[in-house]
């Protein structure tokens, strides 16, 4: 099934992992939020949750899949929050839907699982309820749900700036990759707190994103960029560094880095076969890790922003 959010049958949509190829972070502003500058890409369906919806008199949510148990008592599930926000925005309070979230992505994993679920829910219900909000309207609505949700609504390679509300489409190639989560939750707030404690806020400025016509050239260009939260995450969770070292040690690895606020790490690989072999090897050695080979989907031309 296509990851493209615009398709005729919208009762089911994929909610793929969001990967920050780099993440530059500035010092917190007056409201306590940190300005960001990040290149974001999305995985294929091998690293994705799935949202399904059916007509129903009221809003309800059932969570299934490997991550269901961890979400059972979550008080602020973004899937339901997205459904209610869309219903409120169109001022049709009587709308209902039976939602099913099949949860595959790690919880508090740095790959925007909850944000991607929320974005997929917006797309599914926008279609099923016949609201017909355009992408820009959905992105504006997404801002109130979380800083990553507007990017997940757009669901294509982009640079994310400000606190997530400024998005710039860019061109990237398809990137063979491995995602590795050490099976440990890492709260975003705690990582940012440690980042501030470490005094790691460099002189922050927005930079032009790197360019590469294939995975090797883009991985090479990305060496001059960084994830500013990586040191803070490692200080809180040493397993992040172990995961990075395991990825780097695999044949064909071109770049290993943490995504978002962690603890999920990614490796870019020379080709699909290398990525798949690395995923098999790491999963065999670390059975408690969540490991997926995937393709981080590129685009050959970016729409006008």
Q: How many of the other CB atoms lie within 10 Å of CB of 132?
A: 9
Alpha helix stretches (DSSP H) within 106-255: 113-128, 135-143, 149-154, 188-197, 215-222, 230-236, 239-248
In sequence order, what E strands does the chain have? Answer: 12-16, 18-25, 36-42, 48-55, 59-64, 97-102, 158-162, 166-169, 175-181, 253-258, 265-269, 290-296
Cβ atoms of residues 77 and 62 within 8 Å: no
Active-site residue, selected from the candidate residues 18, 37, 117, 228: 18
Q: Are 305 and 209 in contact (CB under 8 A)?
A: no
Give the per-residue SS3 of 68-84: HHHHCCCCCCHHHHHHH
Tell me whether residue 226 is exposed, middle or buried, using C-beta atoms within 10 angstroms of its C-beta: 0 to 12, 13 to 18, 19 or more: middle
Told to judge if 148 belongs to the known catalytic residues of this protein, a careful annotator would answer yes
What is the DSSP-derived secondary structure letter of residue 245?
A: H
For 132, 152, 171, 197, 259, the CA distances from 188, given in Å and listed in that order, are 33, 17, 28, 14, 12
Tokens in use for 130?
Answer: 């016949």
Residues linked to residue 292 through DSSP beta bridges, in sequence order: 179
Q: Annotated catalytic residue: which of 37, 44, 49, 148?
A: 148
Please confirm, yes or no, whether 288 is among the known catalytic residues: no
Report, as residue numbers or ranges, the catalytic residues.
Answer: 18, 148
């Amino acid at each position: 099934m296509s990851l493209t959010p615009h398709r005729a049958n919208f009762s089911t949509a994929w909610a793929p992992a969001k990967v920050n190829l780099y993440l530059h972070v500035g010092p917190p502003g007056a409201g306590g939020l940190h300005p960001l500058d990040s290149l974001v890409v999305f995985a294929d369906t091998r690293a994705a949750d799935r949202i399904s919806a059916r007509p129903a008199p009221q809003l309800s949510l059932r969570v299934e899949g490997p991550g269901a148990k961890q979400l059972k008592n979550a008080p602020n599930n973004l899937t339901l929050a997205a459904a209610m926000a869309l219903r409120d925005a169109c001022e049709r309070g009587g709308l209902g839907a039976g939602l099913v979230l099949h949860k595959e992505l790690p919880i508090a994993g740095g790959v925007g699982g909850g944000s991607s679920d929320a974005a997929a829910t917006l797309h599914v219900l926008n279609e099923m309820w016949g609201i017909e909000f355009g992408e820009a309207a959905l992105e504006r609505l997404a801002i109130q749900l979380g800083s990553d949700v507007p990017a997940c609504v757009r669901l294509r390679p982009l640079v994310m700036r400000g606190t997530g509300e400024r998005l710039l489409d860019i061109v990237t190639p398809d990137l063979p990759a491995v995602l590795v989560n050490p099976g440990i939750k890492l709260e975003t707030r705690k990582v940012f707190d440690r980042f501030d404690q470490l005094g790691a806020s460099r002189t922050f400025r927005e930079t032009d994103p790197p360019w590469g016509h294939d995975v090797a050239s883009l991985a090479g260009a990305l060496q001059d960029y960084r994830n500013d939260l990586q040191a803070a995450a490692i200080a809180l969770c040493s397993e992040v560094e172990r995961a990075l070292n395991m990825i780097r040690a695999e044949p064909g690895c071109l770049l290993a880095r943490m995504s978002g606020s962690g603890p999920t790490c990614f490796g870019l690989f020379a080709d699909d076969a290398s990525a798949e072999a690395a995923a098999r090897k790491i999963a065999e050695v670390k059975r408690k890790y969540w490991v997926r080979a995937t393709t981080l989907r590129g685009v050959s031309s970016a729409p006008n922003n």
